[in-house]
C-alpha cells in the first residue's frame, strides 16, 4: 500500500524518537566512557543481545552477518545437535574473545532468558513458524529463515501473532535488501515500466510432494541428537540419519510442499514487492509446459517458470510492463529493456550483495520498532502465493483464492490443504 503523507510524518517522528528515547530509558546514571560508546565501543543501551536457534549451514552464514555488526552481542546458541552447539559456541566465543556463549538443547530455555532481545531462527523449515511464534510470545524479536511457514493457515497466524505481540519480525528474504533487486522492484512499483502486466518468479522445481518415513535406525543419545525435538511439530516418524538434513526435512510443507515454496519464498517475495506488496494472487492455473500462471485481483500475472531465463544467476525475477522490462538475478546483474531505465547510473554502481544489509535492517528496526523490509505481512503474502500455487500443483487444476476470507470458496479439496495439524505438544 502506498504510504500516506501523515503516516510518513508519524513514522519519521517515531524513528527519531525511538532511537533517542530508547537509549535514554535504559542508560544507567554513572557509566564508563567505553560503555557510552566512546573509544569505538558500542554503548550497552545500543547493543542487541541475540540468541541463535538451529544454527546449521544457512544459520552459520547468517551468524557471520550478525557478528559483523558491532552492536550485536551473541549470547547463546540452541541446537538439537551437540556437535553443532559446540561448533557455533566456538565461532561466537572466538569472535567475542570470551567463553560466554551458552548452549541449549531446548530453545524454550533460551527464550526464557530475559537478557536476550532477539533470536536468529535458522532451523529446518519444519520448525520456522512454530519457533517464531514461540519467540514472539516470549517477547523476542526475530530474524527467521525462509520458508517461514508450511501452509496458508500458518502464514496468517504468523502475521497476526507478530502484530498482536508487537514483535519485530524479519524473514530471511535478504534479496529485499540487495540494491539491484530493490532497484528492479522499484522500477515496477513506480510505473517506470509502464502499466505492469506480468511478473516472473523462478521456483526451481514444480513438484508438490508429501513427506513420509524412512526405515528406522538406532536413535542416538538425546544429548547428541535430540530426535524428538528435531521432529518438533512434524508428525512422528522413526529416526533416520538421512532425515537430519533440516534444510530438506518436511521441505516447504507437510501435506503439500516442494520447490515452489523453497525458492518461491525468495522470488515470489520479490514479485510481491514489485506489485506493491498487495494481497497475493486470486487465481492459480494448473501447471502447463513447465510454468504456472497466477493472477492478481488487478489482472497482473505472476508466472512461475522453470526455463526461459536470461543467465543472471540463481533466483531470477523478471518484471514486464507496457513500456519496458527488467530481469535480475543473484549474480548482481540486471538486464533492462532500455538503458534509460537506469537514469544515468550503471548496473555496477547499483550493486548487489552482501546479505549483511538485511541483518542491519533487522537490527535497526529492533531499536526503532519500525517494520523491516521482510516483515511478517510481506512474508505472509508471498508465502500464501507459494502455498496456493503448490495446492494448484497438487490438485493439477485451477484454484481460486479469496483474500477476504483467506479460503478457496466452494473448493473443499483445496481448503483442506490450507493447514495441517502439529504434533503434540506444539501449537501456534
Site for another protein in 199-228 (CB under 8 A): 204-205, 207-214
Task: State the DSSP code for 34.
Answer: T
Among 166, 165, 147, 141, smallest CA distance to 72 is for 141
The answer to whether the CB of 264 falls within 8 A of the CB of 389 is yes
Q: Which stretch binds another protein (CB under 8 A): 17-25, 48-56, 85-93, 289-297?
A: 17-25
Q: Which stretch binds another protein (CB under 8 A): 5-13, 64-72, 219-227, 295-303?
A: 5-13
Q: Identify whether 322 is preceded by a cis peptide bond (ω within 30 of 0).
A: no
Q: Which residue carries 538421512 as its cell?
A: 242
Q: Which residue carries 517494520 as its cell?
A: 371
Site for another protein in 31-90 (CB under 8 A): none
Shortest gap between Cβ of 14 and another protein (angstroms)? 5
Shortest gap between Cβ of 222 and another protein (angstroms)? 16
* Geometric angle at alpha carbon 140, from 139 and 145, rounded to 5°: 140
Shortest gap between Cβ of 192 and another protein (angstroms)? 28
Q: What is the dihedral of CA 296, 324, 352, 50, to 10 degrees?
A: -20
Q: Which residues contact 199 (CB under 8 A, 6 or more apart)?
A: 188, 271, 274, 275, 300, 301, 302, 303, 317, 318, 319, 320
Would you state the cell numbers that stand for residue 212, as one nine-digit string? 513420509
The answer to whether the CB of 120 falls within 8 A of the CB of 100 is no
Shortest gap between Cβ of 331 and another protein (angstroms)? 6
What order do you get walking across the sheet with 72-78 strand by strand? 102-104, 72-78, 48-53, 118-121, 141-144, 169-171
Q: Per-residue b/e over 255-269, b at no fewer than 16 CB within 10 Å?
A: bbbbbbbbbbbbbbb
Q: Identify whether 161 is preceded by a cis peptide bond (ω within 30 of 0).
A: no
Does the footprint of another protein cover residue 248 (CB under 8 A)? yes
Between 196 and 267, name the residue whose CB sits nearer to another protein.
Answer: 267
Between 39 and 404, name the residue whose CB sits nearer to another protein.
Answer: 404
Does the footprint of another protein cover residue 421 (CB under 8 A)? yes
Does the footprint of another protein cover residue 163 (CB under 8 A)? yes
Shortest gap between Cβ of 6 and another protein (angstroms)? 5
Site for another protein in 133-152 (CB under 8 A): 137-139
Q: Which stretch binds another protein (CB under 8 A): 99-107, 319-327, 378-386, 410-418?
A: 410-418
Between 96 and 423, name the residue whose CB sits nearer to another protein.
Answer: 423
The beta strands (E) that lie in 38-158 are given as 48-53, 72-78, 102-104, 118-121, 141-144
Does the footprint of another protein cover residue 395 (CB under 8 A)? yes
Shortest gap between Cβ of 215 and another protein (angstroms)? 9
Q: Which stretch binds another protein (CB under 8 A): 79-87, 253-261, 317-325, 381-389?
A: 253-261
Between 201 and 300, name the residue whose CB sits nearer to another protein.
Answer: 201
Between 37 and 257, name the residue whose CB sits nearer to another protein.
Answer: 257
Per-residue string for binding with another protein, 280-309, x by CB under 8 A?
------------------------------
Shortest gap between Cβ of 284 and another protein (angstroms)? 15
Shortest gap between Cβ of 150 and another protein (angstroms)? 12
Does the footprint of another protein cover residue 197 (CB under 8 A)? no
C-alpha–C-alpha distance, residues 406 and 394, integer Å = 19
- Angular region, 54: left φ>0, alpha ψ -120 to 50, beta rest: left
Shortest gap between Cβ of 194 and another protein (angstroms)? 31
Does the footprint of another protein cover residue 249 (CB under 8 A)? yes
Does the footprint of another protein cover residue 244 (CB under 8 A)? no
Shortest gap between Cβ of 213 and another protein (angstroms)? 4
Shortest gap between Cβ of 141 and another protein (angstroms)? 9
Residue count at the site for another protein (CB under 8 A)?
Answer: 71
Does the footprint of another protein cover residue 278 (CB under 8 A)? no
CB atoms within 10 A of CB 113: 16
Residue selected from 109, 322, 396, 409 as contacting another protein according to rule CB under 8 A: 396
The beta strands (E) that lie in 296-381 are given as 301-305, 317-321, 325-328, 334-336
Between 79 and 420, name the residue whose CB sits nearer to another protein.
Answer: 420
Site for another protein in 311-340 (CB under 8 A): 313-314, 330-331
C-alpha–C-alpha distance, residues 94 and 20, integer Å = 32
Amino acid at each position: 500500500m502506498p504510504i500516506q503523507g501523515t503516516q510518513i510524518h508519524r513514522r519519521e517522528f517515531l524513528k527519531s524518537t525511538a532511537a533517542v528515547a530508547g537509549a535514554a530509558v535504559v542508560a544507567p546514571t554513572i557509566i564508563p566512557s567505553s560503555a557510552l560508546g566512546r573509544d569505538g565501543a558500542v554503548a550497552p543501551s545500543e547493543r542487541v543481545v541475540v540468541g541463535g536457534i538451529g544454527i546449521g549451514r544457512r544459520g552459520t552464514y547468517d551468524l557471520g552477518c550478525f557478528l559483523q555488526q558491532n552492536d550485536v552481542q551473541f549470547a547463546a546458541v540452541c541446537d538439537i545437535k551437540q556437535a553443532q552447539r559446540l561448533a557455533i559456541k566456538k565461532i561466537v566465543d572466538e569472535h567475542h574473545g570470551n567463553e560466554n556463549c551458552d548452549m541449549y538443547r531446548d530453545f524454550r530455555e533460551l527464550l526464557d532468558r530475559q537478557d536476550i532481545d532477539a533470536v536468529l531462527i535458522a532451523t529446518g523449515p519444519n520448525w520456522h513458524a512454530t519457533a517464531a511464534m514461540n519467540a514472539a510470545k516470549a517477547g523476542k524479536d526475530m530474524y527467521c529463515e525462509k520458508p517461514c511457514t508450511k501452509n496458508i493457515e500458518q502464514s496468517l497466524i504468523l502475521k497476526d501473532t507478530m502484530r498482536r505481540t508487537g514483535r519485530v519480525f524479519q524473514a530471511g528474504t535478504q534479496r529485499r535488501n540487495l540494491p539491484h533487486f530493490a532497484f528492479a522492484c522499484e522500477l515496477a512499483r513506480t510505473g517506470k515500466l509502464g502499466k505492469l502486466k506480468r511478473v516472473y518468479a523462478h521456483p526451481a522445481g514444480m513438484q508438490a510432494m508429501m513427506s513420509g518415513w524412512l526405515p528406522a535406525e538406532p536413535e542416538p543419545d538425546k544429548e547428541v541428537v535430540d530426535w524428538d525435538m528435531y521432529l518438533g511439530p512434524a508428525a512422528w516418524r522413526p529416526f533416520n540419519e538421512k532425515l537430519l538434513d533440516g534444510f530438506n526435512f518436511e521441505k516447504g510443507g507437510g501435506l503439500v510442499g516442494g520447490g515452489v515454496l523453497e525458492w518461491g519464498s525468495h522470488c515470489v517475495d520479490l514479485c510481491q514487492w514489485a506489485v506493491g506488496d498487495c494481497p497475493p494472487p486470486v487465481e492459480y492455473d494448473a501447471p502447463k509446459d513447465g510454468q504456472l500462471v497466477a493472477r492478481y485481483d488487478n489482472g497482473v500475472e505472476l508466472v512461475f517458470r522453470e526455463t526461459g531465463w536470461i543467465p543472471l544467476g540463481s533466483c531470477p525475477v523478471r518484471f514486464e510492463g507496457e513500456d519496458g522490462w527488467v530481469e535480475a538475478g543473484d549474480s548482481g546483474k540486471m538486464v533492462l529493456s532500455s538503458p534509460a531505465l537506469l537514469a544515468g547510473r550503471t548496473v555496477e554502481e547499483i550493486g548487489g550483495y552482501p546479505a549483511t544489509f538485511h541483518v542491519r535492517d533487522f537490527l535497526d528496526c529492533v531499536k526503532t520498532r519500525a517494520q523491516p523490509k521482510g516483515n511478517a505481512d510481506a512474508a505472509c503474502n508471498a508465502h500464501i502465493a507459494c502455498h496456493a500455487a503448490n495446492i494448484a500443483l497438487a490438485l493439477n487444476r485451477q484454484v481460486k483464492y479469496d483474500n477476504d476470507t483467506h479460503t478457496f470458496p466452494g473448493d473443499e479439496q483445496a481448503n483442506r490443504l490450507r493447514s495441517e495439524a502439529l504434533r503434540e505438544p506444539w501449537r501456534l
